[in-house]
Structure 1
């Protein structure tokens, strides 16, 4: 265990810090999924697409999420490097595990869709922010978003919001309009958290 506690350079996280970041970030994301599923809502990004597929086919969210992310790892290796890709792969795998474990220990008797949307949005935003700051994402559009912000100065929140528009347009084919509106509020909260907190001029540590 000593290798996890080595002193890192001043501008980098230690291996132990990265590990707790991956565990904490993915736990918050899994909690977000619980809020959304309890409210029969979806979210944006690849997680939202995975929820749509799982609702439509009756499959496990964790399995669908893991499989959809597989093609993006090639892009991650080419654009962001091996370390980023391995961290992202680990984050996706850990989140998949959390989505199986959390339902065994918690449930909701009632959760209003608006409350579920806001709570899910805040949890997802905080979880993604932690992962970004430890040099990882949850795959998919997050890989593209982080790469564009780091290399082109385009904010990650804006990139993800564009993808979200496509996901919610697809959701209209499966859900009532009011449900999609609630879900869109949750996605807006998520992207607001990222947009206002993921700033290279304020925090640069990986």
Structure 2
């Protein structure tokens, strides 16, 4: 293996290791000490911990073995390699943090359920988001989420949220209802953090302006705002008349200004504003 390929692999593997470390820390520092829950296979390992005292690092590894082979079949060779790294590193970091907590090197957070659920959501979501962004999974429901995301375009955060709610609902037989409610807060926050990291930290707005005066609007935006505008030929379905649509991506702070320009040229302009994420190019994030 040449140096370039090795460097490329390490740029993927190291973030996966970081993500699983953050996720394992959130589980052992916030979730388990406060008798909270988690979804998917991780939720099952936590239930085994509560009921029988089985180490999550061990149960996570054992339960994920059949799911690992499912991922091998569906996700392909390189993907499953990163999944195996995620599964193995998660169990490893769970074991490391277990030892550190048992030896007293780390004191767990058991002060406030609200704060615990908030911090748990952020750490678990950040950990999984990093792992997903670099093409890995931690096994369990993560494999299912990635498969559904690839085949049907579902948001991974949404898939995991749905699976987690089902698993957490089943845990009502073993965990106090109050703790389940706090857990739902953590799960919801985690899903939002996952999507935030997956979609990119920089969120902008795309404006599609439908107007008989789109070229004039584009000229003013280009001149006064220094933003690129794309003119798209279109035909009105009702009028059958040819016209243009102006498409422009701006920061959130520039929405009002661009809208004002469009309305000053054509008060009847039809403007569509939509979210865009992780924008690359001149005026935004450069690669």
The structural deviation recorded for 1:98 is 1.1
What aligned pairs does 1:75-154 form with structure 2 within 5 A after superposition? 75-103=70-98, 104=100, 105-108=105-108, 110-154=110-154
Instruction: Return the alpha-carbon distance in structure 2 between the equivalents of residues 109 and 195 of structure 1.
Output: 26
Name the SS of the counterpart of 2:173 in structure 1: coil
Q: Does the C-alpha gap of structure 1 residues 109 and 25 become closer, same or farther in structure 2, counting only changes over 3 Å?
A: closer
1:184 correspondence with 2:184 = yes
**Which position in structure 2 is the counterpart of 1:27?**
21
Any idea what the Cα deviations from partners look like across 1:110-129, whole Å, max 9, x if unmatched? 33122121111111111111
| Structure 2: runs of 5 or more not aligned | 201-275, 279-287
* Structure 1 stretches of at least 4 aligned residues deviating more than 3 Å after TM superposition: 199-203
Q: Does the C-alpha gap of structure 1 residues 196 and 62 become closer, same or farther in structure 2, counting only changes over 3 Å?
A: same
The structural deviation recorded for 1:77 is 1.3
1:159 correspondence with 2:159 = yes
What aligned pairs does 1:32-47 form with structure 2 within 5 A after superposition? 32-34=26-28, 35-47=30-42
1:55 correspondence with 2:53 = no
Query: Conserved in 1, the CA contact under 8 Å of 2:125 and 2:189?
Result: yes
Instruction: Return the alpha-carbon distance in structure 1 between the equivalents of residues 158 and 186 of structure 2.
Output: 15
For residue 73 of structure 1, the aligned residue among 68, 77, 98 is 68
The structural deviation recorded for 1:45 is 2.3
Query: Conserved in 1, the CA contact under 8 Å of 2:110 and 2:116?
Result: no
Q: Does the C-alpha gap of structure 1 residues 163 and 25 become closer, same or farther in structure 2, counting only changes over 3 Å?
A: same
Aligned pair count? 198
Instruction: Return the alpha-carbon distance in structure 1 between the equivalents of residues 148 and 17 of structure 2.
Output: 25
Instruction: Return the alpha-carbon distance in structure 2 between the equivalents of residues 80 and 64 of structure 1.
Output: 23
* Structure (1 or 2) with the larger CA radius of gyration: 2
Instruction: Return the alpha-carbon distance in structure 2 between the equivalents of residues 189 and 109 of structure 1.
Output: 18
The structural deviation recorded for 1:96 is 1.0
Length-normalised TM-score, structure 2: 0.64
Task: Name the Cα RMSD after superposition.
Answer: 2.3
Query: Conserved in 2, the CA contact under 8 Å of 1:38 and 1:116?
Result: no
Q: Which has the higher helix share?
A: 1
Length-normalised TM-score, structure 1: 0.87
| Structure 1: runs of 5 or more not aligned | none
Instruction: Return the alpha-carbon distance in structure 1 between the equivalents of residues 194 and 92 of structure 2.
Output: 24
Q: Does the C-alpha gap of structure 1 residues 16 and 57 become closer, same or farther in structure 2, counting only changes over 3 Å?
A: same
Q: Does the C-alpha gap of structure 1 residues 146 and 109 become closer, same or farther in structure 2, counting only changes over 3 Å?
A: closer
1:64 correspondence with 2:62 = no
Q: Which has the higher strand share?
A: 2
**Which position in structure 2 is the counterpart of 1:6?**
4
**Which position in structure 2 is the counterpart of 1:18?**
12
The structural deviation recorded for 1:134 is 1.6
